[in-house]
Amino acid sequence: MRTFVEYGYHGALMDTIAERAQVTKPILYRHFPSKMALLLALLDSAGECLLESLLEPMGSVADWRTAIRHHVRSYFDFVKNSAMPYRLIYSTDLNVNQEISERLTLIRNQIIALVADHIRFFIDTAKINDEDIEVTAVILVGMAETAAERWMADEHIPLEVYERNLIKALTNILAALPGRADQAADLKRKGDAHARS
């Protein structure tokens, strides 16, 4: 993974990968019949890890604002702690053929679909059409990707600053969407109970 990220697809030699993995090249080819097959397997693994980071359980979620904070922190934790998988997914040097392009698009579309599902959970879907939800998800994911890529390119601004500002921006965008009535009533009950105690 590190070799592909550092050298791109064409510069990543199977000799270098085998040496870094401390195996012989024939053993490497026994597991992966080609460099393309190895890259596809790495992309699948990186994509699964990124999706899993966004699916981390939140416990008892109080409201959508808590969910936003949780998901943004999970996303940036992945960016910080799994830099190589993240860079592999977002490295433009690896977009070398249609198969790779389709795999990268699939990973990004899965993330957008996951975010859209989260949005649907917290809003009144009778008051907003599905196309608007999907486009909102595309915008939110794009903001997160841009913030993460900017931080990785130049870390002089701490990641926590990006995290804090992204949470604020996402909160402002999602606050404009119609919330579910049952959740609003539940939050009011919780607030009243808290005030009484």
Q: What is the DSSP string of 110-149?
A: HHHHHHHHHHHHHB-TTSS-HHHHHHHHHHHHHHHHHHHH
Position 193 scores a pLDDT of: 53
Query: Is the pLDDT confidence value at 58 over 60?
Result: yes
* 3-class state of residue 179 by DSSP: strand
Position 135 scores a pLDDT of: 96
Position 56 scores a pLDDT of: 74
Position 115 scores a pLDDT of: 93
Q: Which of 63, 67, 47, 76 is nearest to 146 (CA)?
A: 76
Q: Kindly report, residue by residue over 63-110, the tens digit of the pLDDT.
A: 788 889 988 999 999 999 999 999 999 876 777 788 888 999 999 999
Q: Kindly report, residue by residue over 129-156, the tens digit of the pLDDT.
A: 999 999 999 999 999 999 999 999 888 9
Name the range with the highest mean pLDDT among 102-106, 121-125, 160-164: 160-164
Arithmetic mean of pLDDT, 179-188 = 61
Backbone angles phi, psi at 95, to 5 degrees: -80, 70
The domains of the chain are located at 2-187
The residue that leads in pLDDT, 194 or 166, is 166
Position 48 scores a pLDDT of: 93
* 3-class state of residue 96 by DSSP: coil
Residues 168, 69: contact at Cβ < 8 Å?
A: no
Q: How would you class 35 by CB atoms within 10 Å of its CB: exposed for 0-12, middle for 13-18, buried for 19 or more?
A: middle
What is the value of pTM for the model shown? 0.82
Band (182; pLDDT cuts 50, 70, 90): low
Position 187 scores a pLDDT of: 47
Q: Report how far apart the first and last C-alpha atoms of the chain are (Å, whole number).
A: 53
Query: Is the pLDDT confidence value at 195 over 90?
Result: no
Band (57; pLDDT cuts 50, 70, 90): low
**Superfamily of 2-187 according to CATH:** Tetracycline Repressor, domain 2 (1.10.357.10)
Q: Kindly report, residue by residue over 16-52, the tens digit of the pLDDT.
A: 999 999 999 999 999 999 999 999 999 999 999 999 9
Residues 123, 177: contact at Cβ < 8 Å?
A: yes
